[in-house]
Amino acid sequence: MRIDIITVLPEMFESPLGCSILKRAQDKGLVEIAVHNLRDYTTNRHRKVDDYPFGGDAGMVIQVEPVDRCISALKEQRHYDEVIFTAPDGEVFNQKIANQMSMLDNIIILCGHYKGVDYRIREHLITREISIGDYVLTGGELPAVIITDAIVRLLPGVIGDEQSALTDSFQDDLLEPPIYTRPASYRGWDVPEILLSGHQAKIDEWRHEQALARTRLLRPDLLGE
């Protein structure tokens, strides 16, 4: 898989892409992540990529030309399954979307910034708009990192125990059940006996019941309740 990220702040990606699972996935050759500075695609001698909005509204708007030049240059090199724009009014990102995207070959993520982007970008260049929640950030860089991380960790070979990703919260519309590790008893706080029983069928049943109970308590919307 290849993920191309377009941004006016490429330095924001240095740390998250350079450590932990994302770094290991790149080192293994399981994913290629390229960050592109939008300012490299402007014809403005001052490297400006934004301008005032027509109509006199407040704030600055990313121009259509540098975005079009960047996306066109990338598309000359390969086919892209999705061109994603990180927008607060896009569809809310969830595990199902992450699962779908992990099956793709190549995607572009355009990070919004300033007041927003020229709407012609959204009309003509974007195939999918994604939000990470009902709030506004200073830019789309953090959402791009979140989307990238959620996708990459699902790729075969990225996580040592691939089964672990399949039992995460939201994979089956349920929250994850409680998990414990050694010691079995600490300050009188004991691990549930069932987990120490060695009876896998009963353990699986307990986990499902706990997942259902936690989901009903904390996120009943996932159950349609």
Quote the tokens at residue 140: 């789309």
pLDDT of 168 = 60
pLDDT higher than threshold 90 for residue 194: yes
User: How sure is the predictor about 13, in pLDDT bands with cuts at 50, 70 and 90?
Assistant: very high
Query: In this predicted model, what pLDDT tens digit does every residue of 131-150 receive, in sequence order?
Result: 999 998 989 999 999 999 99
Amino acid at 60: M
> Would you give the end-to-end CA distance of the chain in angstroms?
37
User: How sure is the predictor about 59, in pLDDT bands with cuts at 50, 70 and 90?
Assistant: confident
pLDDT higher than threshold 70 for residue 175: yes
Q: Which CATH superfamily is domain 167-223 in?
A: tRNA(m1g37)methyltransferase, domain 2 (1.10.1270.20)
* CA 130 to chain centroid: 9
pTM for the model: 0.87
Written out in words, the top-level CATH class of the domain with range 2-152 is alpha beta
Quote the tokens at residue 79: 């086919």
Give the start-to-end residue ranges of the domains of the chain. 2-152, 167-223
Q: Higher confidence at residue 90 or residue 170?
A: 90
Q: Higher confidence at residue 39 or residue 168?
A: 39
Task: Kindly give, in sequence order, each residue whose CB lies less than 8 Å from that of residue 24, ignoring residues fewer than 6 positions away.
Answer: 158
Q: How many CA atoms lie within 13 A of 178 on its CB side?
A: 12
Read off the pLDDT of each residue in 58-64 and give the average, rounded to a whole number.
92
